[in-house]
Amino acid sequence: MTAATRQEQLATIFKSATVIPVLTIERLEDAVPLARALVAGGVRVLEVTLRTPVAADAAKAMIADVPEAIVGIGTILNADDLARARALGAKFGISPGATPELLKAAAASDLPFAPGIATASELMQALAAGFDIVKFFPAEQSGGIKALRALAGPFPNIRVCPTGGIGEANAATWLAEPNVVAVGGSWLCPAAEIRSGNWAGITAMCARTMKSLKPA
Active site residues: 47, 135
Spatial distance between the Cα atoms of 191 and 37, rounded to a whole number of angstroms: 14
Q: What is the CA radius of gyration of the chain?
A: 16
Q: Which helix (H) or strand (E) holds 153?
A: none
Q: Are 22 and 36 in contact (CB under 8 A)?
A: no
**In Å, what is the CA distance from 47 to each residue of 21, 43, 67, 101, 213?**
6, 11, 15, 22, 19
Q: Which residues of 13-52 are buried (b: 16+ CB within 10 A; e: fewer)?
A: bbeebbbbbbbbbeeeebbbebbbbbbbbbbbbbbbbbeb
Cβ-proximal residues to 130 (8 Å cutoff; 6+ apart), any chain: 3, 4, 7, 107
Are 117 and 135 spatial neighbours (Cβ–Cβ below 8 Å)? yes
